[in-house]
Amino acid sequence: SQQGEEDPQALSIQEGENATMNCSYKTSINNLQWYRQNSGRGLVHLILIRSNEREKHSGRLRVTLDTSKKSSSLLITASRAADTASYFCATDWGNQFYFGTGTSLTVIP
């Protein structure tokens, strides 16, 4: 399977704390993207980091990429209850796009 893995599978934090989730993948990539999915809904694109980038920021989101370790991390700072969702990484290579297993984040008000 080309699917990547994410950890932790589930994460529960208090509002205001930071949340970090990690993604490991198996193939070479053109880029890696992070998505959020609220329960039963479609995907919301969060951020894209290209294979030649190491770190990227967008608002409260910080993404890192280590291609030598085939891993990426997503940091959400100052979390809010509205951040409660599942988060998926997805790798993009050769017109193929594979999702990680996902992290379910619960932010407790």
75-94 mask for other proteins (x: CB under 8 A)?
A: -------------x-x-x--
- In angstroms, rounded to a whole number, what is the distance separating the alpha carbons of residues 104 and 97? 21
Provide the residue type at 27 as one letter.
Answer: T
At its nearest, how many Å lie between other proteins and the CB of residue 78? Answer: 25
| CB contact at 8 A, 29 and 67 | yes
The footprint of other proteins on residues 35-64 (CB under 8 A) is 35, 40-43, 45, 48, 50
- Does residue 95 bind other proteins (CB under 8 A)? yes
| φ, ψ for residue 81, nearest 5 deg | -55, -35
Closest-CA residue to 16 (of 79, 70, 68): 79
Instruction: Report how far Cα 48 is from the mean position of its chain's Cα atoms.
Output: 10
Closer to other proteins at the Cβ: 42 or 109? 42
Q: Kindly list the residues in this chain that would bind other proteins in the complex (CB under 8 A).
A: 2-3, 30-31, 33, 35, 40-43, 45, 48, 50, 88, 90, 92, 95-102, 104
